[in-house]
Structure 1
Amino acid sequence: MLEGRGRELPCVPLLQYKPHRHACHDGPVFRETDDLPGAWYYLKSDQGRCRMLESELVNECGSDQHPMFGQRVEAVACCGTCDEVLFKLLDQQGWAIVHLTWRRETDPSWPACEVVGSWSNVLEEMIDHGH
């Protein structure tokens, strides 16, 4: 509590993250109006760039052993300081954060990819991203 003009005032943070919750979910629900952490930003306003990133992912996943090979995806967000892209998985529930290499890959470990099942896990990965 803070003291002000003879009375105690509650301490309230100026910025407080309040994720949207849905009654059927334990964690935050994806909404493109929410702020993203760090240097991440939404791509919705640039549909041409979304299609280009989706095509690049298909191009890079040259091995049928890669977890993203053959996946239908939608590009949702990018990190402004590196080549990581957030894709929504369309044929299953979940998300993939992929580090694009900008070349055709045959090694199934590239492009580097983290598949996560919930929006709260996506936010955690973005925060852990480090920039």
Structure 2
Amino acid sequence: MADEKARVLVVDDDPDLLDLVQRSLSAYGFEVITHTSALGVSNLVRQSEPDFVLIDVNFPALKGDKVVNLARQYASSKTKFILYSASDESKLRSLALASGADGYISKSVQGEELAKRLHAFRLKPRPPTPPTPAPAT
């Protein structure tokens, strides 16, 4: 497992940023998949089974925090959803908590630091989801 590349799905509507993140993370040993729209993320998560979904929160049609809620239904239990935005840290923290994301990273974090943070998320266990209450009879 130590030799296995972590797969990252990066979702952002800025193709230049996607290119930068793809080149950067690939250089640090990640397998990177990019997507330019909030639409279709659930399908892509189901098909590609990423270890991480690094997703912008500011899309015109559907906000990234809402996409997390939708895509999580199709993700494996190992997939970690991380909000990735230029928004201020307090807003990102609140959105991550409200959306059920596993965390957040500011877009100002690039290169080696981004790779280190993703590795840290990989080692961090996901809090257990609360059990769904049984229907009343």
Please report the TM-score for the alignment, with normalisation by the length of structure 2.
Answer: 0.30
* Bigger-Rg structure (1/2): 1
Higher helix share: 2
Higher strand share: 1
Please report the TM-score for the alignment, with normalisation by the length of structure 1.
Answer: 0.31
